[in-house]
Every structure is written in structure tokens, then in C-alpha cells.
Amino acid sequence: MILVSYRMRGTNEKWLPGIAHDGQVVRVPTSSVRELLEQGQKALNDAFEQAREQFGAGQNLLPESAIEFGPPVPDPDKIICLGVNYREHAAEAQQQLPVAPMFFAKFRNSLIGPSDAVILPRVSSQIDYEGELCAVIGKRCKEVSETEALEYVAGYTLMNDISARDVQLQTSQWMAGKALDTFAPMGPGIVPASMLRDPQNLTLTTRVNGQVVQQDNTGQMIFSVAQAVSFLSQLMTLEPGDIIATGTPSGVGFKRTPPLFLKDGDVTEVEIEGIGIIRNPVKQNQAKESVGSL
């Protein structure tokens, strides 16, 4: 079972919180996933227990065919992304291992759901993929130690950190190439931390048009989830629903020979064992207005 945000297919309604399992969804009686996380661990546990009973009794179930999924937390306070956090990725980028976590921000405009389209912007011709494990904060977190940091993680999801390399590398600050509309496909939902005990032993795989382009184990991170949460909490207060993307393995498109950049008609996939898979088509920008998720 995973915690999701959903709405009825073909509508533009507010994203509702739900729990998905085996092709069906039950509604969680709060206004949003973020609100549920703010209510604390007991509320989250109770929601999963109630959902388990409903699935068992066949009550109040929605078929996934009738709904669409959004980003698991459509309205986070913060989206914090680690850069250069896998050893082989640092090597392919010809960078020394960082002495502290390197990070940048994305924003809500970048968030899309697990099957929504990534829209190619006119400003860039070098659009890249980056599969990443994400930790979702479950309770307010400030100046916590590495040993207690995972107690503040509600669960895990995954993201494709889409990047406009030519824009990103114009300056030493990466955010311009990272924070574009639709550049954070996320999902399919949040697996509670209690159901995924070791975030540092998961296989992460990224595919483009069915071809494996990235595959590594999260144990190869330079800074673990616990280290990242602890480090960031020394700098800022982390709030329920905050998303921490933990970096990408080697195999990114701009370091291949020849480079592999995303184009209209491509399909990207990111899969992490124990969490699931997101599959996002890539489309050319045809409209002048922004295409964010909210």
C-alpha cells in the first residue's frame, strides 16, 4: 500500500489524499497528504489500518482506471535536491567527492504526477534525466543528529530530476536548469518508512524508451538519507511534507558519448525496488502558458 494524491480522471479538482493497493484506491478523510503528515505518525498509521480494513471488506474502493495520480505531496513547503551524491556519478562528472552535501531547490511548479508529460521548454535543447530516491519528512525537524534523523522521515517516494544542462551549466548555480515547469515527475506514492526499513539498500533503475541508462544501489550514496536530513536540519527547519531528493547515480545523458538528451516522443521511467515506478512521456512545448501541476 502507498499513500497517494489523486483526483477523478478528466477533472481539474483539488488533489485528494488516498491509499492505493492492487489497482484500487480508498479515500483518506483529510484534505491533503500534507495535512495527514502534519497530524503525526499515529494519524498516518490509523489511515493505513483503516484502508487495510476497507480493502479487505471491499468497501469504498475506486478503480485506478477512474482516477489520475498527482505528485504524492502536491504542495510541499520545500523541495530540496542533493547534487553529486553517488560516487560513480561524481567520477563521470569529473568532480571530487564533496565534503558536505551539495544541494539546490526545486519548486511546486516543477511537480507532476507519475504518468504526466514532461514538457520540453523552448529555452533549452539539452534536457536530461536523473532518477532519484526521495525522503518525505513526517514531522518538524530541527538540529537533529544523524542517529535520530530517520525518525523524522514519514516515507519514501521517487523522482526524475529533469535537468536543462545547457541552462544549468551557464553559471555555478544550478537552479536555473532545474526548476522549470514539469521538471519533477514524482510518485507513484509514498511508502511509509515502517514498510521500507533500509533506504540505503535499494536498486534504482532509470530507462529511456525501455533502455536502461542508470542502475545502482542507494548504498552507493556519498551522504546517506540520515546524513542528509541531519545536515539540512542544522540549516533550516524541515516541515511535514518537505521532499528531499537524494541525488542520482551515474549514467546521466550529458556525460554519455554521444550525449543522450530527451526529445519529443521519448518515454522516461524511474523505478526503485519496494517503491514502484513512474513513467513519463516527453512532449514538445506547444503552449505559451506555464504547465505546472497546481
pLDDT in tens, 220-253: 999 999 999 999 999 999 999 999 999 999 999 9
> What percentage of residues in the chain have a pLDDT greater than 90?
89
DSSP state of 223: S
Average pLDDT over residues 51-73: 96
The CATH number that domain 79-284 falls under is 3.90.850.10
pLDDT at 291: 46
Grid coordinates of 24: 484500487
The model's confidence at residue 139, banded by pLDDT at 50, 70 and 90, is very high
Domain ranges of the chain: 2-69, 79-284
Q: What angle do CA 204, 167, 103 make, to 5 degrees?
A: 50
Sorted by sequence, the CB contacts under 8 Å of residue 39 that are 6+ apart come out as: 30
From 9-13, 57-61, 290-294, the region with the lowest mean pLDDT: 290-294
Cross-strand pairs, 283: 119
